[in-house]
Copies of this chain bind each other. A is one copy, B any other.
Amino acid sequence: MARHKEFDPDAALDRAMALFWEQGYEKTSMQELVERMGVHKRSMYDTFGDKRSLYLKALDRYGEKVERLRRATADGAADPRAAIRALLTQAVARADAYPSGCLAVNCATETAPRDPDAARWVERIFAGEHALLLELVRRGQRDGEITSRLDARTLADLLLNAWVGLRVQVRVGASAERLTSMIDSALALLD
């Protein structure tokens, strides 16, 4: 054995994730990543491999993070309806350390079309969100607080698109009024 790393790989990966999220894959240079991650270039290559590998690792880290956050948000709500509202609200809430929008949506439009690994990752993210919505809708319908006029799958489809749409609109800097109006429209679906 010899010495151990002087930096925290997880924290560095977190910073890389934020930079890819903010700027996209192509715009982000290894030099910028070095500066943002606070790690020397050589150590970065030794630890994370080349740019694409680092990107994919950052995607995975993002996936774990948001999945955990989604779960916590859904479980912390009083009922399915509140859970759905909380999820949509969270999508447009500005977190201090992170850029606006969603890395998964960015990845879908930028890199997924030419990178099968990225495409698979995006599909998994969306599938997880769809499954969560489906579960919430089903529970709400069972309890009678969500309409059963439309079946659960249909509602989940519509809610997922509303969710994705919010993440696109917040990225272009839509006004807070517009965003909350969109959330209200999505929740009106459930009546």
Residues of A within 8 A of B (CB): 22-24, 26-27, 99-101, 105-106, 108-110, 112-114, 119, 122-123, 126, 150, 153-154, 157-158, 160-162, 164-166, 168-169, 171-174, 181-182, 184-186, 188-189
| B100 adjacent to A105 (CB under 8 Å) | no
> In the complex, which residue of chain B has the Cβ closest to the Cβ of A119?
B172
| Set of chain B residues within 8 Å of A109, measured between Cβ atoms | 24, 101, 105-106, 109-110, 168, 171
| B110 adjacent to A150 (CB under 8 Å) | no
Nearest chain B CB to A176's CB is how many angstroms away? 15
| A161 to B159 CA separation, bound complex (whole angstroms) | 9
**A-B contact list, 29 entries, CB within 8 Å:** A24-B26, A24-B109, A26-B26, A26-B27, A27-B110, A99-B113, A105-B168, A108-B169, A108-B172, A109-B110, A112-B171, A112-B173, A113-B171, A119-B173, A122-B172, A123-B172, A123-B174, A126-B169, A154-B184, A154-B185, A157-B181, A157-B182, A157-B185, A161-B165, A161-B182, A162-B165, A164-B165, A164-B168, A189-B189
| Set of chain B residues within 8 Å of A160, measured between Cβ atoms | 165
> In the complex, which residue of chain B has the Cβ closest to the Cβ of A160?
B165
| A158 adjacent to B185 (CB under 8 Å) | yes
